[in-house]
Structure 1
């Protein structure tokens, strides 16, 4: 068990219509290509002379159907919110009850927060947190108000630098994993490029402790704290 003094990873957010004052201390198709069947060339014992041919045969090449393309992703700017943000997909390894599975899950956990920062949609994040994860609720208090009306958030990208776990059960039947990370600066914006607030993120690295449980073929974060 990791015995260190910890503080809450999520300071309380100032609720208000013009933005947030909280600092978010959160700082992991292949197509099968096939070769077309070659057509055997046909040989003819005699070829018609020009006088025997009425007119050259016209070959019609069918036009290929247009390949649908996904709408291009556009990150948020001071003037516009992000567009067509890819939905985070949990890696298969993150679903395994193993040390590697826990490490991959921890990285994916932050990916769902990144998605929330860009879209205001925290459903993927909610799906991987235990109902008892009180500090996880603070993420909604921080990100949610940033998407009231037509407002949005720019920046805030999280970078997971490394993870470490002994992968042993604690007395509470949980696994613990340390995550070292940093966060880019972020801003709260509104229509017309209005700037409500700016946060410096985390230029230097910080360490979080995630306590997780594996239940029903799924990892869940029970608690997250920043290590002093």
Structure 2
């Protein structure tokens, strides 16, 4: 049974804090057609070109990953797999993995709308670590790169309408850039997996109620 909860914060929490900063068109006279003894016969070569009435299809903008020149642009929002929509233990596992795909997307883009849809504001860690810092980064013009996550769900417990996910994560290296492109800091990858617990509630889909960081001997 999980009993011990350690009050810690993710490395990238401090990293995400916003620092104060500051051709010519021609014309021609019409030419009279040459008279002939008989009525002209229309041919394919004399027919006017067919103009398509269907609108042209706009090309899909090319995704640009986050880099030293700016946050990710046109980055695809992770699509929730069908398995993550089910109120089953397998659904809890799939949702946990999907949630951290949204965390990565948020860090790369400063777009918090997708993760807000599956996070309750009662989840303090969700707000303080996964959402608010990146809303602030967007306002300030700063951004981050890196922070790939590797999530391993060790146990999923279904107690409808709630679910519990016990899992570990590792986090890749991150860089914080200011609005003028200055590298503010580099934050190393986590040295080993960190144990966490996620409390979920199912209401036409899973929502995160809380995220807790656990002692390793829990």
| TM superposition outliers: structure 1 runs of 4+ over 6 Å | 64-67
- Alpha-carbon displacement from aligned partner over 1:117-152 (angstroms, at most 9, x marks no partner): 011111111111223212211122333333333221
Distance 1:125 1:141 in 2: 11
Distance 1:75 1:199 in 2: 19
For these two proteins, the number of residue pairs brought into alignment is 189
Q: What residue in structure 1 maps to residue 149 of structure 2?
A: 158
1:33-182 paired onto structure 2 within 5 Å: 68-139=58-129, 140-160=131-151, 162-169=152-159, 174-182=162-170
Structure 2 portions without partners, runs of 5+: 22-43
Distance 2:133 2:8 in 1: 12
- Does the C-alpha gap of structure 1 residues 107 and 74 become closer, same or farther in structure 2, counting only changes over 3 Å? same
Shift of 1:168: 3.7
Query: Is the CA contact 2:18–2:133 (under 8 Å) kept in the aligned structure 1?
Result: no
Distance 1:168 1:86 in 2: 31
Shift of 1:180: 1.9
Q: What residue in structure 2 maps to residue 227 of structure 1?
A: 214
Shift of 1:224: 0.6
Distance 2:155 2:6 in 1: 19
- Kindly indicate whether residue 196 of structure 2 is the aligned counterpart of residue 205 of structure 1: no
Q: Secondary structure at the match of 2:68?
A: coil
Structure 2-normalised TM-score? 0.72
Structure 1 portions without partners, runs of 5+: 20-56
Moved more, 66-75 or 101-110: 66-75
Q: Secondary structure at the match of 1:204?
A: coil
Distance 2:138 2:180 in 1: 15
- Alpha-carbon displacement from aligned partner over 1:99-129 (angstroms, at most 9, x marks no partner): 1111111111111111110111111111112
- Alpha-carbon displacement from aligned partner over 1:60-104 (angstroms, at most 9, x marks no partner): xx9x99865422212111123222110122112111111111111
Query: Is the CA contact 1:79–1:191 (under 8 Å) kept in the aligned structure 2?
Result: no
Q: What residue in structure 2 maps to residue 49 of structure 1?
A: none
- Does the C-alpha gap of structure 1 residues 91 and 9 become closer, same or farther in structure 2, counting only changes over 3 Å? farther
Moved more, 127-136 or 9-18: 9-18
Query: Is the CA contact 1:146–1:188 (under 8 Å) kept in the aligned structure 2?
Result: no
Q: What residue in structure 2 maps to residue 26 of structure 1?
A: none
Structure 1-normalised TM-score? 0.69
